[in-house]
Amino acid sequence: MQNVTLKVEGMSCNHCVKAIEGALEEIGASGKVNLAEKTVQVEYDENKVNVESIKEAIEDQGYDVV
Amino acid sequence: MQNVTLKVEGMSCNHCVKAIEGALEEIGASGKVNLAEKTVQVEYDENKVNVESIKEAIEDQGYDVV
Ligand SMILES: [Cu+2]
Ligand SMILES: [Cu+2]
């Protein structure tokens, strides 16, 4: 398993947390949002998912990965 | 039809807008959230819904009517 922590702009509430964590789950990754630090910590299987698809899943929810 | 505009704290994103407008729809009222002004403008039939139940529907979503 690999870990990556992304800086994400635009997350403001628990709905945002669920939207992002849910979108990551859908691509087979596991995310943990920290609203205060504006980060998303993602654990993923590098044989199934890559960082680009993780970023895309987050951006598709309307947030900016910076 | 009656109209009331409530000041609501804690709304931060479009998910909040949908949560509140959806909850009002469920009790048969029609709400319009203004995130910038922190207000919810509600139109309702006073024979079916009252202000107390409107406040309750909003608070049940986790927001404070002030
Ligand atoms: Cu949100
Ligand atoms: Cu929100």
What is the tens place of the pLDDT at every residue in A10-31? 999 999 999 999 999 999 999 9
pLDDT digits (tens, 9 = 90+) for B36-55: 999 999 999 999 999 999 99
Based on the structure, what is the number of domains in chain B?
1
**Where in the sequence is the domain holding B43, given as residue range(s)?**
2-65
Which phi-psi region, left, alpha or beta, contains residue A34 (left: φ > 0; alpha: ψ -120 to 50)? beta
Confidence band of A7 (pLDDT split at 50, 70, 90): very high
Question: How many angstroms separate the alpha carbon of residue A36 from the centre of ligand 1?
Answer: 13
> Average pLDDT in the B21-47 region?
98
Set of chain B residues whose Cβ sits within 8 Å of the Cβ of A12: 12-13
Map tokens 């959230």 to a residue.
Answer: B33
> Average pLDDT in the B12-32 region?
98
Could you write out the DSSP letters of every residue in chain A? -EEEEEEEE---SHHHHHHHHHHHHHTT-EEEEETTTTEEEEEE-TTT--HHHHHHHHHHTT-EE-
What is the CATH classification number for the domain harbouring A16? Answer: 3.30.70.100
Rounded to two decimals, the ipTM of the complex is: 0.83
A65 touches A8 (CB < 8 A): yes
DSSP B13: S
Task: Write down the pLDDT at residue B35.
Answer: 98
